[in-house]
Every structure is written in C-alpha cells, then in structure tokens.
Amino acid sequence: MPIGIAPTAMQRMAHPEGECANVRAAQAIGTIFTLSTISTSSIEEVAQAAPNGIKWFQLYIYKDRNITRGLVERAEKAGFKALVLTVDAPMFGLRLADIRNRFTLPPHLRLANFQGTNSTDINKNNEDGSGLNSYVETLFDASLEWSDLQWLKSITSLPIILKGILTAEDARQGVEAGAKGIWVSNHGARQIDGTPASIEALPEIVKAVGDKVEVYLDGGIRDGTDVFKALALGARMVFFGRPALWGLTHSGEEGVKRILEIIGNEFEYALGISGCAKISDIRPCMYSLDDFSIIYYFLLHFIDIRRPYWNAKTG
Amino acid sequence: MNINLVCIQDFEDHAFKVLPRSAFDFFRGGAGQETTLAYNNTAFSKFKIRPRCLKNVAQRDISTTVLGEKVSVPIGIAPSSLHKIAHPDGECATARAAQALGVLYTLSTGATCSIEEVAEAAPNGLKWFQIYVYKNRKITEDLIRRAEKAGYKALVVTVDVPVVGIRLADIRNRFSLPPHLGLANFEDRNSTDLMRSNKDGSGLANYVNSLFDASLEWRDIQWLKGITSLPIVLKGILTVEDALLAVEAGVEAVWVSNHGGRQLDGTPASIEVLPEIVKAVDGKVEIYLDGGVREGTDVFKALALGARMVFLGRPPLWGLAHSGEEGVEKVLQIIMNEFESTLGLSDSKSDQDV
C-alpha cells in the first residue's frame, strides 16, 4: 500500500523492541520501513529482524564525514534499498516541551548505530534544555550545501531521496543534483513553526518535478482519506511518523500492524467509495479546494451545470 | 534563571500572576473590544515561511544596522511608559539589559526614569528617544535638547496619539499613576498630578488629552525638523498615503504600528499593512514594525516582508516584572535565539539573505 513508515528517532522509548518491532510489522504488511540514523536499534539488528521487508535508511550527515561513510556502507551491506537524506535539519528546531523537560535519552538506551560517546552523549543531562538539541548541534554538519550531495552520490550506488523539501525551487535543485525522489516534509512540524503544511506545499512540487522523479509526503497523515488526497495531488507514496510510535507504545509489533491495517482499510474504503478500483484510478479531478467548493456549490444552486468530475473517466 | 520560562508567552503568564491587576491590565490592554490587539499577533499566521535547504548555515550572523548604527539583532525595544510599575529599577533596568545584548532601546517620554538617568545607566547602548508633541511646544523642545545632550541617536515621533485610545480596562480600574511614582522627565508636579486624577476613569487619558496637541499636522513635522539635527522616525503609520507623506516630509524612517492595539480598535494588524507600505516607500527610508511580535518566526516574517527592524513593546515589561534587568535579558535572549534558529532552518545566513 502507498503508506510507509517515516524515520523517527529512538523508538525503544516507545517499546522495548523499538525499531525491530516496527520493521517486522512493516514487513508483515508489505510496506516500506525507513530507519533513522539516530535509532536505538542498529542497522544490522533491524535488517536481521526483517530480512524480507523493504527498508530505507535515513541519513544525517555528521561533521565527521567518516561516520557518514561508515553508515552508508553498512546500510548498503545490510540490504537497505535507498538513502533518505534529511535536508531540513542543519540544526534541530526549538521544541519547547523538550526544553522544559530537559529531554535526554533514558540511561538504559543508546543510539545503536554508534560506538562510544556518539551513542551515549545524548544521555547527558543538559542544563540549557534539550539534550537532543545539544547532541545535534555538536555532531551534525550545519554547513551542508548542495555540493555535499555530489559527495554523497559519489560514495554510494543507492538512490538518494531528499526529505524535508517544501519549495518548488528546492525540489528542482534536488532533481538537478541527482536525487531520485523528493520527500515533501516539514519534519512533522518540529523544525520551524509557521511553514506551510506539507499537503499545501505538495502541489507546487509535483508541478515542478513530478514528471521527473517520485514525490512523497509526510506530515499530518492520520486517516485513509489523507492518503487519498495526497495521492490525488500527485504524491506517489505517503509516510507517517507518530502513528507508528503510538502503535509501538500500545503493543510493539502487533500495535504497529494494527495501525497499518486501520489506515490501509480506510484508504481502501476511500478508493472504493470515490469510484476507484486501484491506485492509478485516482485522478487529480477527485479533489477540490475549500474556496472553490464554496463558489461551486453556490453556482450549483443557481445554475445547472454538470459536475465534470462525477464521471471518473473524464478526469 | 528558571528554565521553565522558555518562551515570551511564559513570561506574560508569569507577569499575570505577580503584577497587581490594574498594572497588568495597563500594560496588556488594548482599545475597545481589543480585536486589533489579538489580531496583531494572529495575523502573523497568515504568512508562511518557505524554508530553503542545503545552504550552509553553520556560521550565522543576525546583526544589522539601523540608521547607520550597528545593532546585534534586528529586534529593538519599543517605547512604553511607566516601567517602574513593573519593577523598581524601571527603564534603567530595561536599558541596561538592552545594552548588555547590543539591542536598540527606545525611551518613552512618559518614563519613570529620566532621559539622563537612563543615559547614565546604559551609556554605551544605542538609545532613541520617543517624543510626544505637547500643546506647549517648549516642553517638547526641552525634551529634545536633553535627549540630544544625553546622546540619544534619533527621535521617534509618535503620530497616532492625538488623543489616547479608549482602554476599557484602565477605565474600569480607574488606572492612575501609583503615588510613589512620577513622570521622571518632568519636574512640574501639576502635569504628574493629572496622571493621578482618575475620577472619570483613566488617569492616563486625563493626562494625555489635557496636554498633548491634537491639532498636530504634517507641517509640525517641518517645525520639528527645524529644531533638531537628530534623525526623525515617525511611529504609528498604518497607510500607504501616510507613509508617502512621511517620505515627502523628509523623515528618516517610518515605523509601522497601531500602538499595540491601544489606540483604535479595528485597524489592520501591523504585519498586514507592512507589505503595501514597503512597496510604496520603495526603499527611500527605513521601515520598522511593532505589534504582536512574540516569537523569532514573527521577526523573520516581518523582515522577509521588508521591515528593517522589529520592536517589542510588552515582552520586555514581562521580563521586568519577572526579575528586572535579568528578566529583560532573558526575554531578549529567547527571541534572539528563536530568530537565529528560524534564520538557520529557513537557510538564510544573514539578514540580507532574508
């Protein structure tokens, strides 16, 4: 189904089996699981947990390029099928709750893709607020530029997807730089407050690059109808982050499976009731925007016009 | 410093708990039904930030210049009166906090610390003086001389108060100057007493409506220009027409403002009218904005829409109410940090990139 699991960090906070449970659920349902660089289960553990599932690896580029190189090599070796490079996080956003809570990773957990301090520094209780933000500030490379994408391309044969794109300009630049997919996202609204919603940004990006690469979306997907709308607007696939975590919290692998089943079912109903037997039946004419609806229904009342998109085939 | 005050709203919530009711209402209140007061802030949500990625934002610089003077950030302190109601150190504490962070400070005519006291408290900070034009022109002239002598670098002429707005909370509270405080820029007890006379409601209204010159016209700006060499900023402009008249009048800057929603309820939000004013003025003078700025993203949006600087009115007061100079510093640091984060995440390196 066109609904995948977005990369979210430190999933063993939600359930003891963390990312391994999550990926097993994705494998059972037959959908894509994206593993975060800052996960609490390693690349190898996750690959072993779900050898037959489609797995993508989300990458942060660290100041120390050898770290990144190492991660990429391991992901390739473990059978991950694509690299998802996060481009909207030169630093992490100001998350007030994390600051108030002085968020750190619980002491029994570590960032499993790393050895030594890189795996445990995030446990350090930080006076200024969020331990996560301090970790990121120290290790992530905020000087990242478009030319670094060329470097990444040179060290891997895996397709590179750019996650965190919100403008047509960046989408175009990404495609020009050789990205194989554009993942429209505002990082679950965790970076800057006040950006457009992902679904708002989607149309201009599809228009700019949809004919050249696949376009994905995450952000606010909570219902099968959200999936339908994103696809009608041109996304190839949607992802969700938090819902999988709520499933994990409930009952690990079973919980995530249940979440995927629920939204998959809702999506199937949305398909059928709007007159589609399969995904390719979804046409752009099958959505309308609020403003237009108001004018349209006003007109309908006074003027007899045949609604063109009742007939799905003319879409 | 209590780490649990992590945003400006936290400071306002705290001030609500610690300030006497009439004091909090005086600072917080707006005119009429306060629709513009609320809208000043919510209007920022109409504008969305379109972030750009992969722009190398490791080295970020949020400093800028205003009327040729360097400041550490395009955020300044707007003029607000009676700071000693919030904290015993009053405007001196506010000015010291601004100086410590390299932030522009605007002193109000209606301050509870004098021009000279504030200059002494923060000799190295960049300071502007906000002026009202009194019926008695000599009062205004004297204030200007003193400001010039004390090293203030510009005059901010408030043009949206021919009479004071109808602030219902002040009327209900019969707001007046507490007895131990005085308008520090005036020795004349009569004028201060007017502030205390609140039989009909707001002592402030009584004071303003008796003394300020409601007959002020554009040619009076020419008079002002004639008596000072300091650059003049007109504060309280909300229309393209007035912005163009300001440019014609030869002032150095236009400060878009609806006086924090305290004058006329039902005006547009400052951020709403900013774009058309920026367009009309076409770079001829600097444009500033105040009204509803509460977060770094608000600052970013105003700059993206063409403002050179934004100013904060109420937030520093909440900082004062919390802990004087330290509180104001904390408030400024919060919004400066938020602004820097916004800059980096939308991938601009400096204010010029916005």
Percent of chain A with pLDDT over 70: 90
How deeply is A290 buried, as exposed, middle or buried, from its count of CB atoms within 10 A (0-12, 13-18, 19+)? exposed
Report whether A272 contacts A224 (CB < 8 A).
no
Test A90 with B295 for CB contact under 8 angstroms: no
How close is the nearest chain A Cα to the Cα of B306, in Å? 18
In whole angstroms, what is the distance from residue B245 CA to residue B224 CA?
15
The CA distance from B94 to the nearest CA of chain A, in Å, is 24
In this prediction, residue A291 carries a pLDDT of 59
Secondary element (H or E) of residue A245? helix A242-273
Say yes or no: A191 contacts chain B, CB-CB below 8 A: yes
Q: Contact B51/A167, CB-based, under 8 Å?
A: yes
d(CA A150, nearest CA chain B) in Å: 12
pLDDT at B206: 82
SS3 A304: coil
Is B1 domain-assigned?
A: no
Report pLDDT for A307: 37
> Model confidence at A293, in pLDDT bands (50, 70, 90)?
very low
- Is the model's pLDDT at A314 over the cut of 50? no
Pick the CATH number of A3-90+140-284 from 3.20.20.80, 3.40.50.2300, 3.40.50.150, 3.20.20.70: 3.20.20.70
CATH of the domain at B257: 3.20.20.70
Does the annotation mark A187 as catalytic? yes
Question: For position A306, what pLDDT does the model report?
Answer: 38
Residue B78 domain boundaries? 8-353
* Domain assignment of residue B239, yes or no: yes
Contact (CB<8Å) A170/B52: yes
pLDDT tens digits along A134-181: 888 888 999 999 999 999 999 999 999 999 999 999 999 999 999 999
Domain boundaries, chain A: 3-90+140-284
How much is the ipTM here? 0.82
**Mean pLDDT for the stretch of residues B36-46:** 95
Q: Is B51 close to A196, i.e. CB distance below 8 A?
A: no
Which residue in the set B47, B51, B59 is minimally distant from A88, CB to CB?
B51
- Report whether A50 contacts A253 (CB < 8 A): no
Q: What residues of chain A lie within 8 A of the CB of B52, using their CB? A: 167, 169-170
Domain count, chain B: 1
Residue A225 pLDDT more than 70? yes
What pLDDT is stored for residue A300 in this prediction?
Answer: 46
pTM score of the predicted model: 0.88
| Domain annotation covers residue B157 | yes
Q: How far is it, in rounded angstroms, from Cα B121 to Cα B99?
A: 9
pLDDT tens per residue, range B100-132? 999 999 999 999 999 999 999 999 999 999 999
90-129 of A, contacting B, C-beta below 8 A: 90-91, 93-94, 96, 99-100, 102, 127-129
Collapse the DSSP code of A259 into the 3-class scheme (helix H, G, I; strand E, B; otherwise coil) and give the result: helix
What mean pLDDT do residues A27-52 have?
Answer: 97
Asked if residue B2 belongs to a domain, the reply is: no
The answer as to whether B233 is a domain residue is: yes
Which token pair is A233? 């607007």
Q: What is the pLDDT of residues A236-262, one digit of tens each?
A: 999 999 999 999 999 999 999 999 999
Handedness of CA A11, A15, A20, A25 (dihedral sign): negative
